[in-house]
């Protein structure tokens, strides 16, 4: 059992970033902003009181407190220094003089915000953490987070680069410090932003749920906290595309959807428009892309990029080989790859060390062995697989009028749209490579496709019912139908729109 100070320290480390792009036009939220604006005004010691500016920035703070209210960890982090309030394409609308001096300091003095002042050293950044307390905490807890939305100018095309990294022996993890870089818009970035805006609009209009019992949802959040992952928020459906260089040749994958935070065992419980799902992915996509560069039109059916010809090879061995393979395409030398494999413990269950493991992988992939030990190769491949993902999402949206949820090189889709997605994925790979690739359907054994989920224990699914209610309220929909479990359809059914049934 962790002590209270250990829990606090962990929560401070895993605080959510302040989102400067949150807003709301909900009357209750606006009324709350007016209420605390009056309190700030009554305490003001300044001769000037720019009421409109203070109110706008106070609204952002209140929206953030409402946004994290459903989480167990309600800490938010934002630096107090002037440098943290420089206006960029990623952060704007907040100023040091008003947000820190007029709003935060006053609310802290009124005992309405708990604040932990941060610091910055050469290796660590611990910016200030805040959370609502007292009557402010009670006020924000009474407002549903579904009334909070992103501003229209929220940047969804990001360039993010690792500026410093080191291996932390205590945690056994590589620590990375990343920075967002500015860039010059061009025709490509404008097109990518437009495409992603269309996808995000469809995501916003689509009900996404997680059909697990309330007690299981609590276990999931506990596990995520234990694994030092951020708690997810079901409102987080707006995707952003993250590149790793200002020339847009590296990275480009889609991030920030709540379903991407889930471990694999929970993905079968996702529902789209109140239907259960399937997950399809490309079979060893990165190796296939590498082999396509040397003329392979398709890998042999019985070829598995992540198996080794050793005695008692198991699925667990395969997972570790797959991770080791990634080390070989994300490091700049054999020495760096060996160090990464050792630090991650990827060779611990093999009867040999990291050096032999690398030799066996290189031997298996001899035709492409010269491509390894290029620290940018993995990101170059991500650029290709992210373009393929964009093609798949747009095609499913424009042709089949349905959304698919990207998890990098795999896609979660309504169960009755499996066949359509398979065809789209095959076409997408051919468009970008001219070649063929196998497509796998993840093994989902949770439900039989011809059975309807039972009504017996609906009382145990209040969390899912709340998600449904949020969606209805957000989109001003009305429904007199009773709360029901998700629908399960066989693969060969045509698409059915179930939003109106929620």
pLDDT digits (tens, 9 = 90+) for 208-224: 999 999 999 989 988 88
Residues 348, 352, 356, 360: is their CA dihedral positive or negative? negative
Whole-number percent of the chain with pLDDT over 70 = 91
pTM listed for this prediction: 0.90
Tell me the average pLDDT across 9-33.
93
- Calpha distance 256→199 (Å, rounded): 13
C-beta atoms surrounding 198 within 10 Å: 13
pLDDT at 116: 94
Return the minimum-mean-pLDDT range out of 223-237, 261-275, 277-291, 428-442.
223-237
C-beta atoms surrounding 10 within 10 Å: 14
Exposure pattern of 66-84 as b/e (b: 16+ CB <10 Å)? bbbbbbebbbbbbbbeeeb
pLDDT at 497: 42
Residues 247, 253, 258, 262: is their CA dihedral positive or negative? negative
End-to-end CA distance of the chain: 41
- Calpha distance 472→392 (Å, rounded): 28
Tell me the average pLDDT across 239-264.
95
Which tokens is 43 given?
Answer: 């305490």
Look up residue 487 and give its DSSP letter: B
pLDDT at 18: 96
Task: Return the higher-pLDDT residue of 432 and 492.
Answer: 432
The number of angstroms, rounded, from the C-alpha of 112 to the middle of its chain's C-alpha atoms is 31
Place 483 in a pLDDT band, splitting at 50, 70 and 90.
confident
Q: Is the pLDDT of residue 492 over 60?
A: no
Place 227 in a pLDDT band, splitting at 50, 70 and 90.
confident
pLDDT at 452: 66
102 CB-contact burial (10 Å; exposed 0-12 / middle 13-18 / buried 19+): buried
CB 341 within 8 A of CB 354: yes
- Calpha distance 158→384 (Å, rounded): 17
CA angle in degrees (0–180, nearest 5) for 87-93-94: 85
pLDDT at 174: 67
Q: Is the pLDDT of residue 444 over 90?
A: no
Exposure pattern of 36-60 as b/e (b: 16+ CB <10 Å)? bbebbeeeeeeeeeeeeebbebbbb
Residues 273, 252, 188, 291: is their CA dihedral positive or negative? negative
- Calpha distance 298→456 (Å, rounded): 49
Place 493 in a pLDDT band, splitting at 50, 70 and 90.
very low
pLDDT at 253: 97
Q: What is the mean pLDDT of the chain?
A: 89
pLDDT at 271: 94
């Amino acid at each position: 059992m962790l002590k209270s100070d250990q829990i606090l320290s962990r929560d401070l480390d895993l605080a959510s970033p302040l989102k400067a792009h949150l807003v709301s036009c909900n009357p209750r939220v606006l009324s709350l902003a007016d209420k605390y604006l009056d309190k700030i005004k009554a305490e003001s010691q300044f001769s000037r009181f720019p009421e409109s500016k203070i109110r706008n920035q106070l609204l952002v703070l209140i929206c953030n407190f409402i946004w994290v209210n459903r989480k167990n960890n309600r800490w938010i982090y934002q630096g107090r220094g002037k440098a943290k309030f420089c206006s960029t394409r990623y952060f704007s609308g907040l100023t040091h003089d008003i947000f820190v001096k007029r709003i935060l300091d006053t609310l802290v003095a009124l005992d309405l915000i708990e604040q932990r002042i941060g610091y910055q050293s050469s290796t660590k950044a611990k910016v200030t953490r805040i959370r609502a307390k007292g009557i402010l905490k009670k006020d924000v807890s009474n407002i549903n987070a579904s009334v909070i939305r992103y501003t229209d100018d929220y940047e969804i095309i990001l360039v993010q680069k690792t500026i410093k990294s080191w291996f932390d022996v205590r945690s056994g993890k590589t620590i990375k410090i990343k920075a967002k870089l500015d860039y010059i818009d061009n025709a490509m970035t404008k097109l990518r932003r437009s495409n992603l805006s269309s996808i995000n609009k469809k995501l916003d209009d689509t009900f996404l749920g997680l059909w697990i019992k309330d007690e299981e949802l609590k276990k999931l959040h506990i596990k995520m906290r234990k694994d030092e992952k951020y708690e997810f928020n079901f409102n987080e459906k707006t995707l952003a595309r993250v590149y790793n260089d200002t020339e847009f040749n590296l990275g480009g994958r889609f991030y920030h959807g709540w379903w991407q935070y889930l471990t694999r065992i929970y993905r079968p419980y996702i529902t789209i428009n109140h239907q259960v799902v399937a997950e399809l992915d490309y079979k060893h996509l990165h190796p296939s892309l590498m082999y396509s560069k040397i003329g392979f039109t398709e890998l042999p059916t019985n070829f598995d990029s992540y198996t080794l010809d050793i005695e008692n090879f198991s699925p667990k061995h395969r997972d570790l080989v797959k991770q080791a393979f990634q080390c070989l395409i994300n490091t700049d030398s054999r020495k760096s790859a060996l160090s990464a494999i050792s630090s991650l413990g990827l060779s611990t269950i093999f009867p040999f060390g990291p050096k032999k493991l690398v030799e066996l992988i290189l031997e298996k992939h001899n035709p492409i062995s010269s491509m390894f030990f290029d620290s940018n190769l993995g990101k170059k491949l991500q650029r290709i697989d992210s373009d393929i993902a964009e093609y798949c999402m747009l095609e499913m949206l424009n042709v089949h009028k349905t959304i698919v949820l990207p998890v990098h090189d795999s896609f979660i889709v309504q169960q009755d749209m499996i066949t359509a997605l398979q065809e789209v994925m095959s076409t997408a790979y051919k468009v970008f490579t001219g070649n063929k690739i196998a497509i796998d359907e993840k093994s989902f054994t949770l439900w039989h496709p011809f059975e309807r989920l039972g009504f017996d224990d609906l009382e145990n699914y209040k969390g899912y019912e709340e998600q449904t209610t949020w969606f209805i309220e957000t989109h001003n929909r009305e429904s007199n139908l009773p709360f029901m479990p998700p629908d399960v359809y066989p693969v060969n059914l045509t698409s059915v729109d179930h939003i109106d049934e929620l």
